Amino acid sequence: MRAPGRMPAETARAWGKVQKLSSWAGLGAAPHRTPLETATDLRTALAHPGDLRPLADAFARERYGGRPYEEDPEEQRTLIRAYGRLRNQLLKRTFRRIVTFGRRS
């Protein structure tokens, strides 16, 4: 059981992975960008990552909103799907960058 108001490790970890994968894919977020702005930037840059707002919104709400985290199984499923789609798109883009860079050498 989590302490009230404590951000769940899963959301923070997922958002951290999004930031790292984005950087590897050449789409790193500027430090001054909010999670929602970063999600909008990624959605624009990627072909079809799906709706990233739930993941960014959950992270921002839990990290900066001062509202206690409430476990909601439906929200968790939505976040897992959003993260999975985004992760796959970022990994594909990262792989293409590596392959393309390797061909130039």
Domain ranges of the chain: 20-26+33-104
pLDDT for the residue 48: 65
Q: What is the pTM of this model?
A: 0.74
Q: Where are the beta strands (DSSP E) in the chain?
A: none
CA dist 31 and 35 (Å) reads: 10
**Token pair belonging to 26:** 């050449």
Could you list the pLDDT tens digit for every one of the 105 residues in the chain? 444 444 456 788 888 888 999 999 999 888 888 888 988 888 888 876 677 888 888 888 888 876 655 667 888 888 888 888 888 889 999 998 888 766 665
Phi, psi of 99, rounded to the nearest 5 degrees:
-65, -45
Angle at 70 between CA 64 and CA 75, to 5 degrees: 95
pLDDT for the residue 1: 41
pLDDT for the residue 91: 92
